[in-house]
Amino acid sequence: MALIDLANPTRFLRLTDRLLPWLVGATVVTMVAGLYLSLYASPEDYQQGATVRIMYIHVPFAWLAMFAYTVMALASLGTLVWKHPLSDVSAKAAAPIGAAFTFLCLVTGSLWGKPMWGTWWVWDARLTSVLVLFIMYLGIIALWRTIEDPIRAGKAVAVLTLVGYLNVPIIKFSVDWWNTLHQPASIMRMDGPSMPPSMLVPLLVMALAFTFLFMTLHFMTMRSEILRRRIRTMRQREASGAAGVATATTGARPGPAHSDTKPAEAHS
């Protein structure tokens, strides 16, 4: 099936009918495996102790927060450039999921930072840029709710999303550009990951589990949005049909009798 075929909402709904059971199963299996590896198979850190295990959910939350916004940015290009009919549906569906991942990233980061840094929050470059990302998500969700017409809303949100995407590389490279409390990248490095396999494998499994979770929630939300728009269109047609019938009925009513005799002639 070509990508253009998915422009048809009916075909997309049929595809998700087949994919969702597999995605749910993959999410459950990888999540259980990841939690087991993170809690029981991975060692404690010699400095952080058991607190390091927050990493196994905090880092995937951070990755998925940026990944969801990247999906929204690509969907925004699809809306503005390629006019794909499901692009705005994808962007709208990803926004609340990305906001939830970003919020959980901030919360778990605070829980991890308190015993390590001695404070719940600092105006660190990465923390601040992730907070800006969360505010961007909230602004995009609010804009979707402000404009009732989904076509106009999709175009406005697409522009705002693409402008806000400038913050994503800032989040990624903030630890390299500024002196921050966060450690530099330890996985995506030119010379290979610096983490031991006993910690790297559970982290990657958890990242895969949360990716499957995002895909599952994204497809489910897209399905709901497509069905919601269909219901909206049906109601609009019913309202237009009812208005047309009422107009036709009103026009068919006999008007008051008028004499063809002019007033002057009537009085003559």
The dihedral through the CA atoms of 5, 11, 13, 19 has a sign that is negative
**DSSP string computed for 82-137:** I--TTHHHHHHHHHHHHHHHHHHHHHHHHHHHHHHHSSS----HHHHHHHHHHHHH
- Tell me: pLDDT of 257 over 50: no
As given in the structure block, the two tokens for residue 226 are: 């497509």
pLDDT in tens, 206-219: 999 999 999 999 99
Q: pTM of the entire structure?
A: 0.84
Query: What is the pLDDT, as a whole number, of residue 5?
Result: 57
Q: What pLDDT sits at residue 266?
A: 40
pLDDT higher for 254 or 219? 219
Does position 34 have pLDDT exceeding 70, yes or no?
yes
Residue in the block written with tokens 């009798």: 257
